[in-house]
Amino acid sequence: MSELKNDLYASGLGAFAHPLDRLHRALVSSAAYQVLEGSALLDIQLRRSPEKLVIQISGELSDAMCRPLAEALERALAGREPAMVLDLSRLDVIHLTGVHTILTAHLRASDERKEFLIVPGPPAVQRLFDAIDGPFRYAA
């Protein structure tokens, strides 16, 4: 793996490049895709209806996995649906960067007058959201 990192730095991509970036770009437009980083797995599923877009994430939302989620949320915000629901109910772990990624999308949705609801995650995930006391709105 260190050879790969050295290649990334030599190519000028530095710390922002992930070994699977090409795969991410190719798959991010699909309805569902998985991102692998070592043994960590983040799965993003999209379900569309005329009224809303549901984005369900499961696995581990570590710092390295925030970029694919940010890209999926960006695409979702560009869609025609007036509402988005981010379902965290199957998320095992979230890092603070993941909460920041979700907060950024939430604020952008608010600016664009789109409803952005969150289905709460398990207690370990939800504690981080509760601790920062953000402007999140939760689905019933």
Sign of the Cα torsion 76, 77, 79, 84 reads positive
> 20-138 is classed in which CATH architecture?
2-Layer Sandwich (3.30)
Average pLDDT of span 39-61? 86
pLDDT, residue 22, reads: 52
Residues comprising the chain, all counted: 140
Greater confidence (4 vs 54) lies with 54
Dig out the tokens for 94 from the structure. Answer: 């979230």
The model's pLDDT over 90-112, given as tens digits with 9 standing for 90+, comes to 999 999 999 999 999 999 999 99
pTM score of the predicted model = 0.70
